[in-house]
Amino acid sequence: MPYESESMATSDDSVVSFQTEMPLLLQQAMTRFIEEHPNWDQYRLVQAALAGFLVQNGIESREITRVYVGNMFRRETLLHGV
């Protein structure tokens, strides 16, 4: 199966929306983390988690690695020590 081209992968309209049941403890931990780290939001957290999972499980893609690193080490994170 071919991969999406880079232009499609970085398109502003490449939004995926989904609903899923989440274990209560996971939801509470996510909420607590976001409350304690105001420069994070649910979207950044989910993107970092998903990209990190894919990288750790063998997806070799510079774009996915950039998403992971970009979310983990944003400039404001470095400036605020969060």
Cβ density class 52-67: b for 16+ within 10 Å, e for less: bebbeeeeeeeebeeb
pLDDT in tens, 27-37: 999 999 999 99
Distance CA 69, CA 82 (A): 15
For the segment 3-24, the average pLDDT, to the nearest whole number, is 64
List own/partner pairs for 56-62 with CB under 8 A and 24 or more apart. Answer: 61/3
What residues does each domain of the chain span?
41-82
For the segment 11-39, the average pLDDT, to the nearest whole number, is 87
pTM of the entire predicted model: 0.66
For the segment 58-81, the average pLDDT, to the nearest whole number, is 78
